Amino acid sequence: DLGPRAAAAWALAAQHFWEAPSEGYLKSDAGRQDAAAGCGPDAGETSLWLLDLCPAGPVSGHLPSANSSRCQLLLFLFLWNRPATRLNYRKRFGKDNVILSDIRKPPDHIFHGGPFIYSDILDYKNLREIVVNNRITWLFHYSALLSAIGEANVSLARAVNITGLHNVLDVAAEHNLRLFVPSTIGAFGPTSPRNPTPDICIQRPRTIYGVSKVHAELMGEYYHYRYGLDFRCLRYPGIISADSQPGGGTTDYAVQIFHDAVKNGKFECNLKSSTRLPMMYIDDCLRATLEVMEAPAESLSMRTYNVNAMSFTPEDLAQELLKHIPEFQITYNVDSVRQAIADSWPMNFDDSNARKDWGWKHDFDLPELVTTMLNFHGSDTRVAQAN
């Protein structure tokens, strides 16, 4: 006897099946090649799943440890351009409990570093098979084309960011998963309050990336209230990681600047020196994500939260870099498209609800961020050359 939520989800899944083309849910060769060309690590696409081999059913309380006798945890992620993320989760859950995935053949270090499986966010049948075969209970969905890349390929961004989301929502509702979908500062627009930007206000973004993220926030909340889906979402600021390459986002200057500062001692910025945006180091980002997922449902007053750590301009960042690399030089060659995007985004996030409801507190401010990034990239080499 299916309950109303399960019955509705099953009907939705059945509709997907009967409306599918005769070859099933697999894309045409041309479509799959397009997806492969635009959805890989160079395009900034990521997707993250948490798999749990416990009996199916709702998850409550805290995440069990990797050594728990109750169940084995698996992590499925498509994060090739975020090595720190893979390392972080593999340390926490154990190497054999982290499963990486892509639609391309993995390089040796990925294949031999732990389990690897194939998955395509646009292949609904494949997603259902993964959930059923691995008895997934938690799912982290990171698949998206970022702001600048999305504007260059709107049709692909619409497919990955929106159709992919629909596939994940349907699978999560059908199988009673706890679902995390990240949102972004890009979910706001030029008519939003910018300093600070609260959790609930007018949004109206003007990029396909931002529009798709507002869509994700609202669809997730709808599925929560309509089907009881345990949907959780954080609006990330610009995320800075030491061991990743820029992925086509407007805030990526704050990653590229460290690569160029250490390698060349200079950097050409594509935003104005006074462009203030909220930022966060990757370790804080990962911890915030796990903390909101582990938070008791009754502690959450909303389903989508702002999270923040620091807010700075390119000039602020350059001045902090000069303390470590005295010969560093920054010049400006403003990209009108990226500047227009940045000018429509928040200058500072109000994340007081996250701090009040589930105790969010960041660890990295600008000085700690710069020191950590330069330690990773080896600024001692530049200082020695200068001396």
Beta bridge partners of 331: 268
The angle formed by the CA atoms of residues 202, 276 and 246, to the nearest 5 degrees, is 100
Name the domain count of the chain.
2
Contacts by 13-21, CB closer than 8 A, 24 or more apart = 13/128, 13/170, 13/174, 16/124, 16/170, 20/124, 20/125
Q: Is residue 82 located within the same domain as residue 143?
A: yes
Q: Is residue 376 located within the same domain as residue 302?
A: no
Domain encompassing residue 164: 4-240+279-306
Q: Is residue 199 located within the same domain as residue 321?
A: no
The angle formed by the CA atoms of residues 121, 127 and 132, to the nearest 5 degrees, is 165
Indicate the pTM of the whole model.
0.77
Structural tokens at position 288 = 């915030």
pLDDT in tens, the chain (387 residues): 444 444 444 444 444 434 443 333 223 333 333 333 333 333 333 333 433 333 233 333 333 333 333 333 334 444 434 555 555 667 766 677 666 777 778 888 778 887 787 888 899 999 999 888 877 888 888 888 888 888 999 999 999 999 999 999 999 999 999 999 999 999 999 999 999 999 999 999 999 999 999 999 999 999 999 999 999 999 999 999 887 777 668 899 999 999 999 999 999 999 999 999 999 999 999 899 989 998 999 999 999 999 999 999 999 999 999 999 999 999 999 999 999 999 999 999 999 999 999 999 999 999 999 999 999 887 544 444 444
Q: Is residue 180 located within the same domain as residue 42?
A: yes
223 is catalytic: no
The answer as to whether 356 is a domain residue is: no
Q: Is residue 164 located within the same domain as residue 266?
A: no
Q: Is residue 198 located within the same domain as residue 261?
A: no
Which residue, among 205, 176, 175, has the nearest Cα to 192 in the 3D structure? 205
How far apart are alpha carbons 155 and 10 in whole angstroms? 29
The answer as to whether 355 is a domain residue is: no
The answer as to whether 361 is a domain residue is: no
The phi-psi region of residue 60 (left if phi > 0; otherwise alpha if psi is between -120 and 50; otherwise beta) is beta
Structural tokens at position 42 = 């160079």
Q: What pLDDT, on a 0 to 100 scale, did the predictor assign at position 102?
A: 74
Residue pair 85/49 in contact by the 8 Å Cβ criterion: no
Q: Is residue 199 located within the same domain as residue 316?
A: no
Of the residues 89, 124, 209, 227, only one is catalytic, namely 209
Find tokens 């497919």 and name the residue.
159
Residue pair 320/366 in contact by the 8 Å Cβ criterion: yes
Q: Is residue 273 located within the same domain as residue 378?
A: yes
Q: Is residue 118 located within the same domain as residue 12?
A: yes
